[in-house]
Structure 1
Amino acid sequence: MSTRVDESYQGGVAVTPSDTVNITFPTGTPYGRAIYVDVSGNVSALMADGTTLTFASVAAGVFHKVGVKRINSTGTTATGIKVMY
């Protein structure tokens, strides 16, 4: 029996950036698999491995495949942020 590799997302959550509160996903998954923004800008994220990175000028209307636990308010200027899981 072969295993199917499926890169589709099972759902998504709208995110309010926070410097202390990690994203809670309905399925209990520990991190999201992509971010999407409505309005371009910088995104500061706590990554799945615990590091913090700031992505400059994140393009709007595009799924960016990154594993994130949290979107930080400090350093984030993009708006309309969704995290897909």
Structure 2
Amino acid sequence: MPAKNPFIDFAQDATAPALDLVAIVPDDNNDLVTVVRKIRVGVGGDVKLVTSQGTTVTFQNCYSGEELGPFFVARILANGTTATGLVGYC
């Protein structure tokens, strides 16, 4: 039986808590299954991403445990991303 969620009917906007989390595998050719609004870095390094509007940005020298965002991310690129253990908040 799934856990009861007393917040299910609350308005969901860009600043609301994430409804779900997704493990991110960087990929140069494919978008994420779901656009995410924040990224947690497991092991530090660079994160190269493409926003939902198509802008490519590299966040250099991210530290372990750092959270990037909020902004809408469509893809994490493999070429240019050295950080690992990435988790997306959606």
Q: TM-score range by the shorter chain?
A: 0.7 to 0.9
Identical amino acids, percent of aligned pairs: 32
Offset, 1:62: 2.8
Tell me the TM-score normalised to structure 2 length. 0.77
Q: How many residues align?
A: 78
Distance 2:43 2:57 in 1: 19
Q: Give the alignment of 1:1-85 within 5 angstroms.
A: 6-25=15-34, 31-65=35-69, 66-85=71-90
Using the size of structure 1 for normalisation, the TM-score is 0.82
Structure 2 residues without counterparts, runs of 5 or longer = 1-10
Larger radius of gyration: 2
RMSD: 1.7
The residue identity in structure 1 corresponding to 2:61 is: S
What's the CA shift string for 1:22-53, capped at 9, x where partnerless?
0003xxxxx21000111011000011211111
Regions of 4+ moved over 3 Å: 3-6
